[in-house]
Structure 1
Amino acid sequence: MLQTVHETSSDGVRTDRETDSREPHPLSLFEFWPGSIFYTPIVLYWIAMGLRYGDFSIPSAANPLIETGGLCGESKSGILDLAGPVARGWIAPYVTIMLRRNRKEGNAERLLAKIDARGLSFPLVVKPDIGCNGTGVKLVERREQLGAVLDSFPLGVRVLAQALARGPVEAGLFYMRDPGDPHGRITSITYKEAPVLHGDGQTSIRDLIARDSRTNLLPDIYLPRLRERLDTVPAPGEAVQLVFTGNHCKGSIFRNGCKDATEALTRRLDEIIGDVSEFHFGRIDVKADSVEALRAGEGFEIIELNGVGSEATHIWDSRTTLWEAYRAQFYHYRQAFRIGALNRARGWKTCGAYTMLRYWRKQRRLLALYPLND
């Protein structure tokens, strides 16, 4: 059965198309391709744009106060620290601490002192200050758990403890704004859903995962995170959330919400991001009270600000075609180069290809040391 679907593309063009109203396949064709395959055309496109602009690191100038523009190796707290008083009012409060080498036993006490001074309460989210794709993100329910969580991180790294945003709707809002222009545009909205299975009083979590049409295709993602509970049998109707972190590659389900890029939400982001020093291009991850509240530009809390290394993540909706995904990727990276070039013309420097490589290697090394995310 065919039905007409109204969509807004990543470049803001509204289109109507007919689509099969039956339930789509749980995974798209390319959703879990190896990165070396999916990203090869994007790397080639980046090289082409670098040759065109005479500098492969032009996008680093799109957000010139962030390391590499936020492409890789940037500090999460460093980006949030760029917020002025208006923007800070929309950001979930946080504190950071450097895990001291050779003084492991004192890290929890030091972080708890900062948490108490900031007026934060548990549960909290603890995550590495330099991270990617949700790696190492941990939900800490009680004070007594904090020491064990910190012990799972390598020493000598900075971690961030943030208030748990309570909104039931998690979304990624991709926003870009030309330098000097008070008005920007939302080019992507993604809704993130943690997969939830429900017990029947007879089936173990392991078998529930095996029976579900989506999770049974991704056992390597879900089973390791639940290894201590796999043989547990949930009660009838009991909800079992399989993952906490709202990242696609960590098991969350992404839905295209581009149609919800309203004028009210855009103007709200103009107000907020206009109070973040020299932030012109990236994704704002939020939790909202409801989709309706988000559309109205109200009732949401910012979790993270991500720079040029972030994606328009609506491409990971299982209904997205490969061509639609690449079109969105090429469009956004083209804009990153364009905005970076505008800032270069204003006198901002690019970081250089060598610095990008150095930060990428640092991030890659750290990611291998972080604990498994929740």
Structure 2
Amino acid sequence: MPELTVGDRKLAIAERIPPMLFYLPLILSWIGFSLRHRSFTLPTAANPKIFTGGMWGESKSDYLLDITPEERTWVADFTVVRRGKGAFSVDADIKAAQAALDAQGIAYPFIAKPDIGWHGHGVRRITCFAELQDYITGFPENTNIILQRYVPYAGEAAILYARLPGERHGRVLSLTFRYFPHVVGNGRETIRDLIGKDARARWKSKLHLGGDATHRGLGEEELARVPAAGEVVQIALIGNQRAGALYRDGRRFITAEMERRIDGIAGSMTEFHYGRFDLRFETVDALARGEGFSIVEVNGIGGEAIDVWDPRLPVGEVYRRLVDQQRLLFLIGKRNRARGFHPTKFADFATSLFRQNRLIRQYPAST
């Protein structure tokens, strides 16, 4: 991963804007494109074989299963299990989960996450059978769970991809490096103190200190620990804005080899024209060669161009990139509509959002 400096820890101006206020211009922009194209949900036709085009409410495992076996070697091994109905099914569900793990050859530790997920809600690292029992017991009924091999690579990145309908090849639109929420020890202060003094960690301190019911946070023993000078302490498993992760625009590292690899993976999927591949990678050089990485998640049209959250970008550039993303989504949707694909009905579009939000409130706390 490209090395960070002290100044890189600052919050972006865009991150300081309240979310509802920040997204208001983008909502207006979306409405403008909707009026021009006579459809509010036209972008959902960009990925016509995915529920809502992947805006929200879709199955995350469906993406991974749609990748052909030849290309699935680039995906971290996973299995999907079902949380049944009623407390009486819990023991059977746990046994089925362990059997599925054994069949897939997935050992502890591994990652457990909801099949319908958002912003890392419900994502945990499971280190033993007791933790698997606890996770499944606390999971909402009649829903699917993804159990995925833990990828030990240090780097994490998000690659945004698009292919216009009718074209043989797509392109990588952006590459973003994700830096997990962390603090750096000085040999004197506790992790709790370091969180309070670090701009990014302090921004989400409620989450890290256990004050948010949707996230476990750090235990008292860990918070009281004094890390050695220079020791990097990861304070959350999830690497997104919800936990205060840092994003760095890495488009200068995009190469033809990387693009060919991602295009091959995306091209193996059914009518997949737009999405973001979240992956763990060994080194930047290996990733640039299209090697040494494992995909852990795929997102559809809801996969935001997260390079915009690089603190070095001015607000004007942030909005320009996000509006360009909307413009491209409507263009792809328009072309697929001309091919006979229909956008998701507005009622289904809205209902799926409400269902996803309801599920999120029921998921076990993330870590």
The answer to whether TM tops 0.5 is: yes
SS in 2 for 1:50: helix
Distance 1:151 1:33 in 2: 38
Matches within 5 A, 1:186-197: 186-197=172-183
**How far is the alpha carbon of 1:211 from its aligned partner?**
2.4
Deviation of 1:29 (Å): 1.2
CA distance, structure 2, for counterparts of residue 25 and residue 120 of structure 1: 35
Compute the displacement of 1:159 (Å).
0.8
Deviations 1:186-236 (A, max 9, x none): 111110011333445653221121122432333223222114445422353
Partner of 1:117: 103
What is the rounded CA distance, in whole Å, between the counterparts of 1:200 and 1:44 in structure 2?
Answer: 46
What are the ranges of 5 or more consecutive residues in structure 2 without an aligned counterpart?
211-216
Q: Distance in 1 between matches of 2:221 and 2:114?
A: 26
1:136 aligned partner: 122
2:226 equivalent among 210, 234, 253: 234
| Match of residue 139, structure 2, among 140, 153, 165 | 153
What do residues 80-121 of structure 1 show as CA deviations (whole Å, max 9, x unaligned)? Answer: 111112221211111111111221232221101011111111
3-state DSSP class of the match of 2:70?
Answer: helix
Give the corresponding residue for 1:8: none
Q: Is the 8 A contact 2:190 2:225 kept in 1?
A: yes
Could you say which residue in structure 1 is the equivalent of 2:277? 284
**2:200–2:244 contact (8 Å) kept in structure 1:** no
Task: Determine if the alignment matches structure 1 residue 56 to structure 2 residue 40.
Answer: yes
Task: Report Cα offsets for 1:323-367 as digits up to 9, x if no partner.
Answer: 111111101111111001111111111112111101111111111
128-137 vs 199-208, greater mean Cα deviation: 199-208
1:221 to 207, 229, 235: 207
Answer whether contact 2:49 2:270 (CA < 8 A) is retained.
Answer: yes
Deviation at 1:22, TM superposition (A): 9.0
Matched, 1:332 2:318: no
**Residues 182 and 124 of structure 1: is their aligned pair in 2 closer, same or farther, counting only changes over 3 Å?**
same
The aligned runs of 1:283-322 (5 Å cut-off) are 283-322=276-315
Distance 1:286 1:235 in 2: 29
How do 1:1-374 and structure 2 match up within 5 A? 23=7, 26-102=10-86, 103-199=89-185, 202-224=188-210, 225-229=217-221, 231-237=223-229, 239-374=232-367
TM-score, length of structure 1 as denominator length: 0.90
Check whether the contact 2:209–2:218 (CA below 8 A) recurs between aligned residues. yes
Distance 1:350 1:201 in 2: 56
Q: 1:76 to 1:24 in 2, by over 3 A?
A: closer
Q: Look up the equivalent residue of 1:98 and give its one-letter code.
A: R
Which of the pair is proportionally richer in helix? 2
Contact kept, 8 Å, 1:171 with 1:190, in 2: the verdict is yes
Distance 1:189-1:334 versus aligned 2 partners, 3 A rule: same
The one-character-per-residue Cα deviations of 1:111-156 (angstroms, maximum 9, x if unpaired) are 0101111111111100000011111110112233210122232222
Contact 1:84–1:275 at 8 Å: present in 2 too? yes
Q: Deviations over 1:38-83 (max 9, x none)?
A: 1111111111111111111111110111100000100001121111
Q: Which moved more, 1:133-142 or 1:148-157?
A: 148-157
* Unmatched tracts of structure 1, length 5 or more: 1-20
* 1:35 shift after superposition: 2.0
Structure 1 CA distance for aligned equivalents of residues 156 and 6 of structure 2? 25
Partner of 2:324, secondary structure, is helix
Query: Match of 2:340, SS?
Result: coil
Count of paired positions: 354
Q: In the TM superposition, what is the alpha-carbon distance from 1:170 to its structure 2 partner?
A: 0.4
Distance 2:84 2:305 in 1: 36
| Stretches of 4+ aligned residues off by more than 3 angstroms | 198-202, 227-231
For residues 314 and 37 of structure 1, the distance between their equivalents in structure 2, rounded to whole angstroms, comes to: 20
Distance, in Å, in 2 between the alignment partners of 1:142 and 1:25 is 34
Q: What secondary structure is seen at the aligned counterpart in 2 of 1:64?
A: coil
Structure 1 residues 223 and 343: CA distance shift in structure 2, 3 A: same
CA distance in 1, matches of 2:6, 2:35: 45
Looking at structure 1, the residues matched to 219 and 18 of structure 2 have their Cα atoms a distance apart, in angstroms, of: 24
CA RMSD of aligned residues (A): 1.8
Letter in 1 for 2:82: M
Partner of 1:13: none
Per the alignment, in what secondary structure is the counterpart of residue 302 of structure 1? Answer: strand
